[in-house]
Structure 1
Amino acid sequence: MRFLSRRLVMPYDLNYAGSLFGGRVLQWIDEESAIYAICKLDTNVLVTKHIGAVTFESPAMQGDIVEFGLVTKSVGRTSITVTCLVRNKVTKKTICLADDIVFVKLDPDTREPTPHGKTLEMFAEATF
């Protein structure tokens, strides 16, 4: 798994208990995963179809740097499924794991699912 992006936990990212708000990290996961899928499929006409199990394991606090690790789990005819691991940059402790995040490529005119022409094997050697 490659860790491709980082964010600094700011005061406006916190919940009432003073730790990173779960809704904020879910927003970041969706955005980071979408960017990853867009780069892999060479298209920005994607939608989030599904986010599977999300497991929160440890808190992040103000001032922590969190990083996002992403990996392609599977590739369908019109979709790509990724896993996103969010961890503390310094301690490497897992903050959150989001599994089975599915993005679907849409035709820009009809907004219907359309084949992307990629396979999982195409990503085996790919690097950013």
Structure 2
Amino acid sequence: MRFLSRRLVMPSDLNYANSLFGGRALEWIDEEAAIYAICQLETNCLVTKHIGEISFESPAMQGDIVEFGLETKKVGKSSITVTCLVRNKVTKKTICLADDIVFVQVDPQTRLPIPHGKTMDILAKQTEKEIQTLNM
């Protein structure tokens, strides 16, 4: 799993118990997973179809830095399924795990699903090339 993004927990992100509000965490997860899927499929015409099991393990407090680990679970004809792990950057404790986040590529006009032409093998090669580019 690659940890690709981080956020700082701010006062406006807190619930009544002064920890990260679950709704805010879910908003971040959907956004981070969408960005990941957009980069994987090389298109921004995706919609969230489904978010499966979400498990909250430990709280995040104001001032904590949380990071988002993302990986592709499977690829369909017009869809991509992603897992997102949110953890505390310093302690590495899992804050939340969101599994089976499904995005579907849609036609911009009709909003109907369209094939994206990617496979797990293509995505693996694409990721390897991206990592090599980053390591220059």
TM beyond 0.5: yes
Aligned with 1:126: secondary structure?
helix
Task: Give the secondary structure class of the aligned counterpart of 2:125.
Answer: coil
Percent identity (aligned): 79
Q: Using the alignment, how far apart are the partners of 2:122 and 2:90 within structure 1?
A: 32
Q: Deviations over 1:21-77 (max 9, x none)?
A: 000000000000000000000100000000000000000000000000000000000
User: 2:22 aligned with 1:22, yes or no?
Assistant: yes
Q: 2-side partners of 1:125 and 1:94: how far apart?
A: 29
SS at match of 1:48: strand
| Deviation for aligned residue 1:124 | 1.8
1:1-128 to structure 2, matched below 5 A, reads: 1-127=1-127, 128=130
Structure 1 residue matching 2:121: 3-state secondary structure? helix
4+ runs deviating over 6 angstroms = none
CA distance in 2, matches of 1:94, 1:28: 15
Q: CA deviation at 1:121?
A: 1.1
Structure 2: gaps of 5 or more residues: 131-136
**How big is the shift at 1:125?**
3.2
How does the TM-score come out when normalised to structure 2?
0.92
Q: CA deviation at 1:126?
A: 3.0
Q: Secondary structure in 1 aligned to 2:15?
A: coil
Letter in 2 for 1:71: E
- The amino acid that maps onto 1:108 is P
How many pairs were matched up? Answer: 128
For residue 123 of structure 1, report the CA deviation from its aligned partner: 1.7
